[in-house]
Every structure is written in C-alpha cells, then in structure tokens.
Amino acid sequence: MRSQNLRSARKSPLLATRTEFWHPTRRVPIALPEGVQAIRLPLSRRVSRVRLEGAPSALRVPTIASGAPCPASSPRRKVPPAVSVNIGTAFGPGPAYPTLDGSTGHAVVGMVWPPTDPPYLGWAGTKVLWTVPTYTGAVLVRGRQLDGAGDVGFDIGPGWTNRVLPEIRLVGPEYGLHPAATFVRTPGCYAYQVDTLRSSYLIVFEAQLAYR
C-alpha cells in the first residue's frame, strides 16, 4: 500500500543521472549554537571538483548528549517567492528546501510508516519532498543523528527503488516538488547535510513517530 502511495506522488523529471559536480568542504569542527536555523559550513579555497557518482565528502553533523533538547532549525522569516509557490514554511538558507512541518516553531518530521511495513522493513519513514528552484547544478542530501548513532535514510521518486538509500541527488533548477522519502530507525534529533558546488549546510529536525 505504501509503495503505491509513493508512486502516486507528483511526478517530476528525474535528473539525478545527469553528470554534475559538487564541491566537498573543508573538514572543520563545528558546534550547534542555541536557536540555530541552519549551519553553513566553510568552503575550502581550493576547489576540488568531484563527480556526483564519485566518493562524497564526509558528513559533518555535530553530536549532542542523549536526552538533550534538540536544536531543531527554525523556519525562515522570509521565504523566497520561487520557494513559497510550493512550500509555505522553508528551512535552511537553500538552495534546496525540504517539506518539513514547522507548526511548532521548529523543524519536525513525523514518521507515519512503521518499521514493520514493507518494503522498508526496519525503518520508520514518511514523504519529505524537495524543491531546488533557483540553483543550477547538483545537490547532494545526506543525514545523521545528533543524539545517537543513527543514520538518515532516503528513497527518491518518481522511479522509487523500494530500498533505503544513504543519500539522494537532485539537479536544479527544479521548480516543482521532487518526490522523496526520509527514514530513521528511532525517534530523535537528526540533520540533513546539503552539499552543492557553492555551499554546504545543515537542517536540523526532530524525528517523531506519528504512526499507531
């Protein structure tokens, strides 16, 4: 049933097979300031051009103590017109924006699919769509848990793999919402790391179990 629902998501050209480049960032320690919206990671002055199908740079998601409050990202006060067409509440500096719940004043992802529901056994998940309306180039999205050792998993449409992937790759500009899904094994505090040729940033969100 869930697989059928995924396939019924709004179709958008699948451009991830197009050859593009992204810019790996310098390895630097970072901290999460209180009330952070997103963390922009500094870029190395030396540009190392790596094909999307090549080895990605390391994740640079900070850690917090188990049980500590999650410093989830706050919504942007001003949403670019090209983004607000599809997303009412935007998180992060862009250029890639996910469809996250901001009704509580911070980013929340409610996992509506239980880990016992095939085909993604062992993972709780939900649809989180992405838009990249104002950027020309490749976008790499990955993630990890801040208050534990869990990973963020993905699947991407419209040609769904029915497998949990470690990353998704988008190509902008894409003015609509690209179908995708996010998965975690346990509730907690997580972050997307979004890498492009020009920037790298985090969007921190609280993953909650919303299924019964």
Q: What is the DSSP string of 191-210?
A: EEEEE-SS-EEEEEEEEEE-
Cα separation, 145 vs 206, whole angstroms: 10
Cα separation, 54 vs 198, whole angstroms: 18
Q: Average pLDDT over the chain, rounded to whole?
A: 80
Residue 157 has what DSSP assignment?
S
Cα separation, 154 vs 125, whole angstroms: 9
pTM of the model: 0.75
Cα separation, 16 vs 169, whole angstroms: 6
Cα separation, 41 vs 138, whole angstroms: 17
Which pLDDT score, from 0 to 100, does residue 58 have? 85
Q: What is the pLDDT of residues 57-71, one digit of tens each?
A: 789 999 999 999 999
Q: What mean pLDDT is predicted for residues 169-178? A: 95
Number of H helices, E strands in the chain: 2, 12
Question: Taking 80 as the threshold, does the pLDDT of residue 46 lie above it?
Answer: no
Question: Taking 60 as the threshold, does the pLDDT of residue 147 lie above it?
Answer: yes
Q: What is the pLDDT of residues 86-133, one digit of tens each?
A: 998 999 999 999 999 999 999 999 999 999 999 999 999 999 999 999
In this prediction, residue 56 has a pLDDT band, given cuts at 50, 70 and 90, of low
Question: Taking 60 as the threshold, does the pLDDT of residue 170 lie above it?
Answer: yes
Which pLDDT score, from 0 to 100, does residue 55 have? 52
Q: What mean pLDDT is predicted for residues 47-76? A: 77
Question: Taking 90 as the threshold, does the pLDDT of residue 34 lie above it?
Answer: no
Q: Between the CA of residue 147 and those of 71, 72, 126, what are the distances in Å? A: 11, 12, 20
